[in-house]
Amino acid sequence: MQRLTRRSRCAPLPLARPDDGAVAVIVSLLLVVLIGFVGLGVDVTAAYAKTQEAQNGADAAALGLAQACATDELTCPGASNQPMAHDLATANVRHQVDTVTTAVDYPAATQVRATVSAESENAFVRLFGVDSFTVRETATAVWGAPTRGVSGLPLTFSLCQFDKQGGSSGTAATVYLTKSSDAECVLPTSGNTMPGGFGYIGDGGGCGAEVSVDGWVEATTGNTPKDCSASDLTPLVGEVVLLPIFDACVTKNPKNAPGCTASSTTGDRAYRIHAFAAFELHGFNFGGSFKTGSPVPCGGSDRCIRGRFVEWVSLADAFEYGTGPNLGASVVTLVD
């Protein structure tokens, strides 16, 4: 017969091990370290976001100042430009940054550099004595006259015509492409526009051509632009386009272009590009379907464009910039 035994209810409890207190201390320390690493990760991530915000502010300040310098709105270099830089920077730095400071300097005659510093309090790392992180970012913008690019409107005009139309003053004008040009850039004997008047440019690769200042571009006359359709040109109405302006012309047939110098090494004629000018296009008539505007700017056998030469700054990278003649058009870009 199996005998049952009863364990006494008063039996002593097991004794605590002497290392239990040390384990508790170690766990507490590890928790502090773990929380510290988590907090550091959170604050470092926030600091990275602040870095991006500071870079946005620096980019905006540099580009804005460069545009103002290019149009002579500001005197550059100029100490008074710092307030404008600060306004541009703070307008482009969002709520992640508590305080923003800006500084401006000019590494070169046509370069401006904006430095944006931003500081924000830490949420976790301050428990370890680091109250805040400071981030500092810079951006450098450069401005200059356009010196190379593809002309969207495949025309070139003489420097005389540009001057007679008021230059980049913004005066509205209808520029005639025919012998009856009202720009008074004419030869006293024949009445033809001088020199060469105008030309449709193209390189066979589509509407327009790549053009360089101080370079020569082949051109033709006629009723319609070369290698273009009306649908290529209509979207340009209402836009600002850069037109190459020439200061010399050569031709193999002087009778057809009395304003040009005779040369057996060119085609119909070629123009030496002096600079680019900004033209706000309002309408055109090149004959046939190549016409638009309300109303169409000219009729009959006349060929013309309507609009105005303006001062204009491009932020696009379609044109290279340099130190060539400035007819009111400028290119601004970030270089750092």
Pairing of strands 261-262, 240-251: parallel
What are the angstrom distances between the C-alpha of 85 and each of 89, 95, 323? 6, 18, 25
pLDDT digits (tens, 9 = 90+) for 306-330: 999 999 998 877 888 888 889 999 9
Q: For residue 29, what pLDDT is reported? A: 55
**Angle between helices 82-91 and 20-70 in degrees, nearest 10:** 130
Res. 196: pLDDT tops 60: no
Res. 2: pLDDT tops 50: no
Q: Please answer whether residues 144 and 331 qualify as being in contact, where contact means their C-beta atoms are separated by less than 8 angstroms.
A: yes
Q: For residue 146, what pLDDT is reported? A: 93
- Between 225 and 150, residue with greater pLDDT: 150
Q: For residue 97, what pLDDT is reported? A: 53
pLDDT digits (tens, 9 = 90+) for 78-97: 777 888 888 888 887 765 45
Closest CA to 57 of 20, 35, 84, 90: 90
- Between 88 and 268, residue with greater pLDDT: 88
Percent of the chain's residues with pLDDT above 90: 20
**Cis-peptide into 295, omega within 30 deg:** yes
pLDDT digits (tens, 9 = 90+) for 173-183: 888 775 444 54
- Between 163 and 6, residue with greater pLDDT: 163
Res. 16: pLDDT tops 80: no
Closest CA to 250 of 273, 235, 266: 266
Cβ neighbours of 254 (radius 10 Å): 14
Average of per-residue pLDDT values in the chain: 76
Rounded Cα distance between 68 and 53, Å, is: 23
Cβ neighbours of 23 (radius 10 Å): 10
> In the numeric block, which tokens belong to residue 33?
């370290």
**Band (44; pLDDT cuts 50, 70, 90):** low
**Band (293; pLDDT cuts 50, 70, 90):** confident
Q: Please answer whether residues 162 and 326 qualify as being in contact, where contact means their C-beta atoms are separated by less than 8 angstroms.
A: no
Identity at 68, one-letter amino acid code? A
CA angle 313, 243, 190 (to 5 degrees): 145
**Cis-peptide into 195, omega within 30 deg:** yes
**Residue range 103-112: average pLDDT?**
91
